[in-house]
Structure 1
């Protein structure tokens, strides 16, 4: 029998991620913790990991704000459609309401999707918002300035959300989080 068996007592746990490692390993295969490093190297690794985890929490908070912005847009779109429907004198109110209701459902669905796929969700929501903004501006240029404060707030949330989603993905890779 040529196979070498490692005795059960040669196994230990990583101090950083609690993965099983052997006493011969220099670094944890899962997180990169310096198992045989100096105490200073080990402390530095743990401090860097804690710093990245805090940054990841902050990035996730900003992504959550972007998803909330999508919910706000969904609500505002639906309310706008209801207002147009209620004030309609041309007979097109029901069409506007239907289109706005569909858009509201889309924005809400994309907002929910942000919890699963943050970067793709925020980019998709931003793209849909920009497309609607452009189409409205072509149809009626006055819509560019109407509700400008709300639009600036929403675009700001989207920009921060995209930056934060990119940062969160980068940190997840560095922390070996799926």
Structure 2
């Protein structure tokens, strides 16, 4: 008896799966605001510590000027020169912490674009201080080896975030 019941369930399983796997159209909602053509309010400062050779981890500190308070989206580059698809290594970014005036501020990952992080910049903040780790490959099956005790191949797009609304126009430099 038990064998017959199990066989009936196994026979019915492909029909249930077929009904659930039919293509369903879902409208794409772009959650990242469109860029605005405004001068950038300063210069991004990037510091990378590549001395953790045993674990092949870059420790990144970045200072990103912000023009105003409110919602800001930070992006990790995904479309890279010489690649024909979005090949940025977002899966190797870890431990992201964003601070404003020395206080940690929460961030959220965009629900559609995994390369985007949204923060709410408090009033009176001129810079976001961002820190994270880039977990470099330690073996060839994890990707290209970019750091060893004898070699360093540091690519800026792997170790930086930038504001989504960055302008291609002239920038104003704000001196600290």
TM-score in terms of structure 1 length: 0.23
* Greater RCO, 1 or 2 (C-alpha within 8 Å, sep 6+): 2
Bigger Rg over Cα: 1
Structure number having the greater helix percentage: 1
